[in-house]
Structure 1
Amino acid sequence: MDEVAAAIADPVRRAILVMLRERPLPAGEIADRFPISRPAVSRHLRVLRESGLVRDTLTGRQRLYELDASRFAGLIAWLDQFGPAAGWAGRLDALETEVYRTRRERRRRDTTDHGQENTA
Structure 2
Amino acid sequence: MPKVQAELLRWARTLKAICGQMIKFITVCSGMPGELIPPGRIGYKIAGIFFAKETNRAIIRDPLLRREYVHTQQWYHYGEQTGYWFSFAILYALAGENACTNKYEQQAGLAEGNYPCP
Query: Above 0.5 in TM-score?
Result: no
Greater relative contact order, per chain length (Cα 8 Å cut-off, separation 6+): 1
TM-score normalized by the length of structure 2: 0.31
Structure with greater helix percent: 1
Larger radius of gyration: 1
TM-score normalized by the length of structure 1: 0.31
